[in-house]
Structure 1
């Protein structure tokens, strides 16, 4: 992938001496997973290397082309990658698959591993992530490449230079299978480590967003194209260097656009992003003469959480509630952070009864949360059962514009709080 963990730790260089790595101060489950996974991966890579064919002159030339292309790509995009890395809140996709996946398909395992180590060492010198993160993700990457490469060769790929149209379909299927293995092994390794690294992992933090995974799929696809060029027209690999540099720039632009519409604490849409998406949804519903509901969710007594445990603990509560809202909503629903401890949901094709049912389900799920965090004194604490008040406004029953729907839902929240908090309240009907 190569995927890297999120959070501030990945931005700080750590000691080179393994005995001083912060790894040994992490949770026991995390340490156990990392150590066992590394041993399995190293054993797998060693076995694959022992059965690998001896590299020939063509293999060395191909390795040189891939390493040269990767080096130029890395050096020309180092500033872009630094900016992208500093803004990432989930896994980081570093686009090395453009150069490594071709090696998986056409080079012996020994040369593929050498390329991975050389390329990732350059990335590490730029990013300066903790040494144990670099070692773990590099070994996982080598293992994924070794498994995918051995499987591809075991299935007997044909000579690409003499393929017929019918045979090319089989070769394409083999490439897809190798890509699936290559990605899946890294996902298990890196995703597993991220899931065990903190008390409250989120699906986005572990697996990345849809945009992250689409970016990785495109990078791997470009890698397959690079492999074909490497076999059929080797000098044309240099063209992929320009393509990769432009692709890096486009990835940064897309991330900037996403950041402009996202809330940095929760990863949900901010008010700008939510209003734009909700406005489009309302226009679609209006054209179809349909209905929709807007839910305002306000966490009860949230100031007490900040005052008692500290603002970082409050941020953990917000993050967990945001995760609940993502998982409790449909793909077409639009979820955003209104500000402070308030969230907004737009539910298309939802009438008052369905909105009330959804609001009760969300309220009950939030009340079941148990959030492990650290208080302002650095002590471990568990915040159990945060509650929320929910206000509902329905189009066209309560309002016909987005601003009026939001205001009606906000007024309904205050009515719910006046009724005793931890409650759901439907907005008053619109006047004649």
Structure 2
């Protein structure tokens, strides 16, 4: 049985704060400070450049990747860390396009994270492909025989709507296409099963539900059937078969190693590795059940106490990730007032109050306090103050 009280104690949660924004940035695991300090003190400081071998920095992307693999239904040796999520999206989509010569269509949906669409649009314009964007509920109907790549974020960043990965992957394969799944709002939040779904490529960030810290490196997974065939357009030094032979021509490494690009962020990986310690012994089915319990209680509480808010997420928890959105015409100001009262969620344009539920550290007391404070902010009109209407650079 997963002990969620123990996992909550593993995080530093500031006094007086109810934190429901782990779907943007997870809180700091308590022992991350010591892990990073030890890495700097005992490795970087004393070993200098020999740390690449002596401290295992060079193999760190694969070792950390193996720890994430268990959380997303992947196998050992199938996940590698490094770079940003946008770079990993570019690698995955470009590799999938190469594997489907003669097909030039990339299909995505309007609920996808805009950055993924920007990457796909730039790639399509560069190689002469076409990016088609349809409504999330219309994706299945647009999987046609000219499709090369289906690129989707499993959980919609605004609504929390969850795609049926297995069904859409099967439909794409039936049409002869490959799939690229973005797990930014899935990894560490829901029970992902990449191998069970037969997915082809998957990518994700680690600073949200995995709690790796701001700017923590992204991951990429390639189905083992494709691992020695995938060739991304972005071919970097660390993805070479013999990087220290310094050959002029590129020869891809075997398997997932070819998806490496540049020098790994060793300090950031140390923090992420510390965060992944908290996941030891966590049952993903129990995590999913806990997520549903929290989000269902929140929806019920908000709808009872705040009738002016409109649910912006699927009502069926099976069709929802681990976040809930409500709409309000002054959502930005309402969220700023909430934050000022110690309940931290976030705002997504144009009018969405977004709340993330991370079972590792959120509990029913968080739900009750968030509902109470939100109701008070609306009832007393606390949001309608000048300071709550001023837009910051990051919303």
**TM norm structure 1:** 0.22
- Which structure is richer in relative contact order (CA contacts within 8 A, separation 6 or more)? 2
TM-score by length of 2: 0.23
Compare the two structures and name the one with the higher helix fraction. Answer: 1
